[in-house]
Amino acid sequence: MMVNFGNLTLLMAFIVCSYGLVTSILGGWKYRPGLIESARRSVLATYALVSIACAVLIALIINNQFNVQYVYSVSNIDLPLFYKITGLWAGHDGSLLFWSWVLLTYASAAVILTRKKFQVMQPWIIMVLLGTTHFFLVLNIFVANPFGEWMQHLPDGTYASFMPMDGRGLNPLLQHPAMVIHPPVLYFGLIGFVVPFAFAFAALMTRQLGIDWIKATRRWTLTSWFFLSCGIMLGGKWAYVELGWGGYWAWDPVENASLMPWLTGTAFLHSVMIQERKGMLKVWNIVLIVATYLLSILGTFLTRSGVVSSVHSFAASSIGWYFLTFIGIAVIALTYLIIIRLPYLRSEHELDSVVSRESAFLFNNLLFVLACLS
C-alpha cells in the first residue's frame, strides 16, 4: 500500500511539475500574469508532493519493508534508527529523490521571496527551477525508482512481489555520525547554485542585464557557498578518521568535483562586486555562475557514471550519461543566449590601470578559475 502511494506521489509530482513548466514558458513568452501565478503554485505543489514521497520512503526504511529493492540495499533489521533515516540519501535512487527535495526547497523559497519582485523575470526563473526538477523526476520515475519492488516469477506465468527476511544493510563505511549531516549539507551547497543560475538565465531571456539580478542572487550564492564550504570541511574531517580514505584531502576525483564549483562560486562572489560598482565583467559573471551550476551537476555525473574510480562514487551506472546530456544541452543553450545578448553585456567602464582594485579582483578571479581547471 505504501509503495503504491509513494509511486503515486512521484507520478503526481511529475504531472504537476510538467504543468508548471509549460505554464511558466507560456506565461513568460506572452507575459500572462495568471499563467505565471499558476506556475508559481505548481512549484509549491510539487514541493509538497516530493516531500510526501521522501517521507514515505523513510517510513518504508524504518518499517523494514525489504520488498522494496532500495530499502533492501540500504537497511537491515539491526540497523539503528539513527542510520535508517540516512538511508534516504545513502543509496543511488534515494539520493536522486533527496536531490529533488533540496532543489524544490530552494525553488519554493525563491518563488515566495520574489513573488512581488522581478515580475518579468519570474516566469523564466520558475522555468529553470521546474525544468531541472523535471529532469530529476524523470530519472526517479523511469530510470531509478526508489519504490521498485522485488518480483518473483510464479508457475502460472505471472509475477508477484516478495519480501526477503532481511536487508543487505548500509555500507559499514557509511555508518558514521557524519553520514547524518555531511551529505545533506553538501547537497544544500551544490544544489543551491541553481537559483543564481536561474536568475542569470532569466536576465538573459528578458535582456535585464544590469545589476538588479546580481544583487538578487548574492544572498543565494552566499548561502550555497556557505553550505558547500561546511560540507567540504565536514567531508575532510570524516575522511581523516576513516581508514583508507586518504586523510583530510586525497585529491579524489569526487572530492575535486565538490571543490570545483566552490572555486568558481568564490570567484563569482568576488567579481560581482566589480559589476555592481563599475558595470564591468558582465559576460564574465554570467559565465562564472553558469559554470558553477554545471560543475555541481558534473559532480553527480562523476559519482554515477563509473568513469572515475573513487571511494565516494556509486556503482557504475548508465544513468550518469543522462547528466552528461543535460550538461551538454545547457552549455549549448546558454552559449547561444550569451552570444545573442552580447550587445546588452558591454562593460560600462574599462580597466584604468593594471595596478588597481579592479585588476586585483580580476587577477584573483583568474587564480580561482585556473585552480579549478587544474
pLDDT tens, position by position, 277-303: 777 778 888 999 999 999 999 877 777
Structural contact between residues 304 and 94, judged by C-beta atoms closer than 8 angstroms = no
pLDDT at 319 (0 to 100):
79
What is the arithmetic mean of pLDDT over 186-212? Answer: 93
Computed over every residue of the chain, the mean pLDDT equals: 85
Task: Kindly report, residue by residue over 116-171, the tens digit of the pLDDT.
Answer: 888 899 999 999 999 999 999 999 999 999 999 887 655 665 566 677 888 898 88
CA gap 193, 223 in Å, rounded: 9
> Residue-wise over 338-366: b if at least 16 C-beta within 10 A, else e?
beebeeebeeeeeeeeeeeebeebbeebe
- Return the residue matching grid coordinates 527476511: 165
Structure confidence at residue 360 as a pLDDT band (50, 70, 90): low
User: What is the pLDDT confidence band of residue 257, given thresholds at 50, 70 and 90?
Assistant: confident
Taking residue 80's Cβ as centre, other Cβ atoms within 10 Å add up to 9
| 314 vs 196, more confident | 196
The H or E element that residue 152 is part of is strand 151-153
Place of cell 550564492: 221
Predicted local confidence at residue 178, as pLDDT: 85
Section 38-51 average pLDDT: 98
pTM over 0.85: yes
pLDDT value of residue 292: 94
Give the largest Cα separation in the chain, rounded: 83
Per-residue pLDDT, averaged over 38-48, amounts to 97
Spatial neighbors of 247 by CB under 8 A, at least 6 apart, are: 239, 240
Residue matched to cell numbers 543535460? 326
**Digit-coded pLDDT (tens) for 3-21:** 999 999 999 999 999 999 9
How crowded is residue 325: how many other Cβ atoms within 10 Å of its Cβ?
12
Q: Where are the domains of the chain?
A: 1-151+162-172, 176-373
Of 185 and 256, the structure prediction assigns the larger pLDDT to: 185
Instruction: Report how many helices (DSSP H) and strands (DSSP E) the chain contains, helices first.
Output: 14, 2
Query: At residue 68, does pLDDT exceed 90?
Result: yes
Residue 173 is predicted with a pLDDT of 79
pLDDT the model gives residue 282: 85
Residue 317 has pLDDT above 80, yes or no: no
Average pLDDT rounded to a whole number, residues 344-354: 66
Nearest to 97 by CA among 55, 34, 160, 65: 55
Residue from 185, 184, 212 nearest 282 by CA: 212
Between 320 and 123, residue with greater pLDDT: 123
